[in-house]
Structure 1
């Protein structure tokens, strides 16, 4: 059963133009808050209403959850067959295809997919083969090695180029990391393993090298929609071109001003390259904003206008609002914290409630300076996302050292700082605490503990610090 949608009644002019666009490549420049998701949902419904079989539609999103929610909303709006549309991420599509066709690339379709922690463990286990058991050189920690290897795969650049620009401190060991990468690739091949980066690389390779599969998939997915196109990388862009080789029915939706995953290899220039990859492309701009007031959008437009490479757009809204945003230029984070706290105190003096005041940060760790100033001024606050400054592990470690200097009976703090020493777990730390209490030992004599053996150097440093 389906519901007939009156598209011209529920969509604005630009959204309607995108939803009802004829076949062919379409690039939708969707400004912030302009109804990007709504447009994709109605596009799915519109295609199915016009007789397109659901299985011929491919909706690629950044998460499987996003795809599922979009298709469920489309089903409620129009036709429950919308749920049968092929929706998911690039990685889920790659896994689906490779499970059936991996033999064409010379490996078993029963491969195991490695997640990030598997990747870190595998490369860490291979380090002795690079450096030997003595560990005579200092390699990056396992998470950094995994990041370097993954970024090299995603942006398809040599390791030394990536390290020169982003990890210059590790350039002296670039040859060892390259050796480690070679061992890692061999390890995956021998054990029929694939990591997330391989999924995309192998799918592209399959589409590029095997004309039969390329045409088969292009014929299967006759209408392709890609969400958050500004956050795709070159590999994903190539996959889209191969998948659409028979028909060019691609709708890419994104905003060049909202690329947030460049650190993972995303390339917002895919937005600018789309018209050259698809010369017949129509460009549709969604500029009506449903989220903000006009003064905020006016400031945003002025800011985005400074970008050197951009699609020109002018966000506007019908929402009322006269509050003009302020841009305050402070000299440093401490001055910024002072200003924000003074502003909060002024609002409190006007009778405003703390629960009605919020401070937003780009990342949680940027709030530390403000947390200290709020605490100093006795202004209560709650932090959402990440730890409060005083709850951070390294701050708690520092405070534990200070507390035992003042109060050697502070068992909790002793337990925390002792476990920072090599080979000291809960059992041994408790034994040390019991000995100190029994013998009435001062903090700076902790290196006299009779149980010390190879840990003596660490205990000596701790005793010196306590003195």
Structure 2
């Protein structure tokens, strides 16, 4: 690959990032703007032009999956040898390597969960909190450790920071102290201690610092808005005063402040590094103008000083749908119906997600999807390669690869092997058996893809081992159910944002202005996960027949056509669906500007933006309107105005949803004229 090849296909801002091969560089990258593309091409360009050796690059990400994706993209650009790891993985590797030399003895063992040690610490102080409380205490300890707060200082500093611990702060401090004593006594390290010890070893042993700094000279840090003080300490220690650092982040997506993360390192980067190159990526290639317009509107009232306003690059799509339901069960059924519609129109189940604020909200959707026989998977549950059926399958495939029969096609061999542990031609009806089948089917599809490229069983096993290391799970054909936090960094064709009521989003314990603003950004993250279809809903009551005391999220004020809270005018109810449809914000499908004029809203575009419509269709609609007006003995404009007919000719609706998406066409007019209009738009004769 020639150096110029690494710049091919980049937009002007992405190219500016790629050409800024020397640090410091700060990339403010909005959702869907191609940040990974920009930074991988930057690394590739730097390597190709001789600025840096690939082995001297350390790219730091926040998830193993993101690290795997970054390495895969670099391999696609012909760059091999770049180290892409999470903060913890990079630090643990260094700590384990240098420990015998500078400390002596076996390196400490990593403790995956704080709960077992916390249970013991609680018993030692004669306290018996439940596991839910202990999980919250563990979160407090993690916050304290990443912000460098000691057990004795925790009570005072927790109050100062506005923390709300599950038990008195003094008791948290005592449990924190007991936990740390047990951890040290048993030669254990948790994820925070890994970072702390690595920085300490480099600080206290200059030869270690020299060796690490000689190895890594070129740093890239993704999701920089989520860096916490302990991670920043380690990063500064790695750098050792050098400034070949490129950071990438989006202040609009700061959603982890509760765990100690802070966006100030991103927003203050140019102050810390006065010579920094700062590039803003705002061209959104992920979502339609309608989704992008809503995302921008969500943040329009935000107090984010460095807000990035996205500019849509994709063609026009359907308007977001807002649905108010009587209760949570009705809301879940509404989502199921809509999912079935999308599936019938060819949207794959794996390209649909239902996102909620807290994991407890998943139950209603798990039940509704199971009853409907729709496949689903819970995001944030057990990792794919840790599932029992996947581990069993990998063992069997590994054994078969050692004695592989080259005469048997790969896909057939894999189907034969997986058939022995539950892979059938048709999926089971639901439940655990369906989840197990989906996992095995994902492995079989991966084998089919590899077979098409000429791969064999050993190649499949090697691919599975690579994916397991990078936590790069093959896609499973099921609707994703997950929390808004767990959805960060992901995207789907269709997204359902559910349970959006005040008290849930913003969550009830978000009390300070800063906490409320973070909840707003969480909604923004949810909106920007959608490529094309976006469905926003809430329920007025928890259970059928319950008191309808809930109100839609305050963040939806002005976005649905009705204000939330007391005094809100009740929109007309669609009793068959058990929900209320309220007006959606309408954006120009050409330039994404919010439309306010009635005529422009009906057309779905600014009056000055170019139109492209079927003149023959418009004429047929006018002929039909004349006939319908005579039959109903009303003026033609009462049936539909000229602007509405032109909007139909431009947008050519072929489904009920398409037609109702045109401003000015409500349920009454649809029931009266919808069938005839859709027939004409589908190519039928005028009757």
- What's the TM-score, normalizing by structure 2? 0.48
- The whole-number CA distance in structure 1 between the counterparts of 2:140 and 2:9 is 47
Q: Which residue of 2 aligns with 1:442?
A: none
Displacement of 1:196: 1.2
Do the aligned residues in 1 keep the contact of 2:30 with 2:282 (CA within 8 Å)? Answer: yes
- The whole-number CA distance in structure 1 between the counterparts of 2:302 and 2:289 is 20
Q: Which residue of 1 aligns with 2:11?
A: 12
Q: Which residue of 1 aligns with 2:92?
A: 95
Computed over aligned residues only, the root mean square deviation of the Cα atoms, in angstroms, reads 3.6
Displacement of 1:190: 3.2
Q: 2:179 aligns with which of 184, 190, 214?
A: 184
Do the aligned residues in 2 keep the contact of 1:34 with 1:286 (CA within 8 Å)? Answer: yes
Q: How does 1:169-180 map to 2 (within 5 A)?
A: 169-171=166-168, 174-180=169-175
Structure 2, unpaired ranges of 5+:
382-429, 433-687
**2:267 maps to 1:267:** no
- The whole-number CA distance in structure 2 between the counterparts of 1:336 and 1:145 is 31
Q: Which residue of 2 aligns with 1:457?
A: none
Q: Which residue of 2 aligns with 1:404?
A: none
- The whole-number CA distance in structure 2 between the counterparts of 1:245 and 1:352 is 54
Cα 1:109/1:4, change in 2 over 3 Å: farther
**2:234 maps to 1:239:** yes
Q: 1:150 aligns with which of 106, 117, 142?
A: 142
Displacement of 1:224: 0.4
Q: Deviations over 1:158-198 (max 9, x none)?
A: 43257655544411xx4444333333323333333221110
- The whole-number CA distance in structure 2 between the counterparts of 1:253 and 1:48 is 19
- The whole-number CA distance in structure 2 between the counterparts of 1:273 and 1:229 is 11
Q: Which residue of 2 aligns with 1:384?
A: 377
Cα 1:354/1:10, change in 2 over 3 Å: closer
Displacement of 1:49: 0.5
Q: How does 1:315-464 map to 2 (within 5 A)?
A: 315-327=310-322, 330=324, 334-335=326-327, 338=330, 341=333, 353=344, 360-362=354-356, 363-368=358-363, 381-385=374-378
Do the aligned residues in 1 keep the contact of 2:70 with 2:84 (CA within 8 Å)? Answer: no
> Which region of structure 1 is more displaced relative to structure 2, 203-212 or 286-295?
203-212
Displacement of 1:233: 0.8
Q: Deviations over 1:103-139 (max 9, x none)?
A: 79x844622232333x3222323433322xxxxx433
Q: 1:221 aligns with which of 187, 209, 216?
A: 216
> Which region of structure 1 is more displaced relative to structure 2, 11-20 or 203-212?
203-212
- The whole-number CA distance in structure 2 between the counterparts of 1:155 and 1:217 is 25
DSSP 3-state at the match of 1:324: coil
Displacement of 1:380: 6.1
Length, aligned pairs only: 371
Cα 1:382/1:277, change in 2 over 3 Å: same
Cα 1:364/1:183, change in 2 over 3 Å: closer
Q: Which residue of 2 aligns with 1:76?
A: 76
Q: 1:138 aligns with which of 123, 128, 151?
A: 128
Displacement of 1:339: 6.1
- The whole-number CA distance in structure 1 between the counterparts of 2:244 and 2:74 is 20
- The whole-number CA distance in structure 1 between the counterparts of 2:111 and 2:105 is 17
DSSP 3-state at the match of 1:84: coil
Do the aligned residues in 2 keep the contact of 1:140 with 1:170 (CA within 8 Å)? Answer: no
Do the aligned residues in 2 keep the contact of 1:149 with 1:181 (CA within 8 Å)? Answer: yes
Cα 1:351/1:85, change in 2 over 3 Å: closer
- The whole-number CA distance in structure 2 between the counterparts of 1:166 and 1:209 is 33
Cα 1:272/1:193, change in 2 over 3 Å: same
DSSP 3-state at the match of 1:92: helix
Q: Which residue of 2 aligns with 1:67?
A: 67
Do the aligned residues in 2 keep the contact of 1:113 with 1:196 (CA within 8 Å)? Answer: no
Do the aligned residues in 1 keep the contact of 2:61 with 2:87 (CA within 8 Å)? Answer: yes
Q: Which residue of 1 aligns with 2:83?
A: 86
Report the structure, 1 or 2, having the larger strand content.
Answer: 2
Cα 1:210/1:306, change in 2 over 3 Å: farther
Cα 1:176/1:303, change in 2 over 3 Å: closer
Q: Which residue of 1 aligns with 2:421?
A: none
Displacement of 1:335: 4.6
- The whole-number CA distance in structure 1 between the counterparts of 2:234 and 2:255 is 21
Displacement of 1:238: 2.4
- The whole-number CA distance in structure 1 between the counterparts of 2:276 and 2:22 is 10
**2:111 maps to 1:115:** yes
Q: Which residue of 1 aligns with 2:502?
A: none
Q: Which residue of 1 aligns with 2:287?
A: 292
- The whole-number CA distance in structure 2 between the counterparts of 1:25 and 1:159 is 35
DSSP 3-state at the match of 2:219: strand
Displacement of 1:264: 3.2
- The whole-number CA distance in structure 2 between the counterparts of 1:379 and 1:40 is 43
Cα 1:351/1:293, change in 2 over 3 Å: closer
DSSP 3-state at the match of 1:6: helix
Cα 1:45/1:351, change in 2 over 3 Å: closer
- What's the TM-score, normalizing by structure 1? 0.68
Structure 1, unpaired ranges of 5+:
132-136, 393-467
Do the aligned residues in 1 keep the contact of 2:27 with 2:248 (CA within 8 Å)? Answer: yes
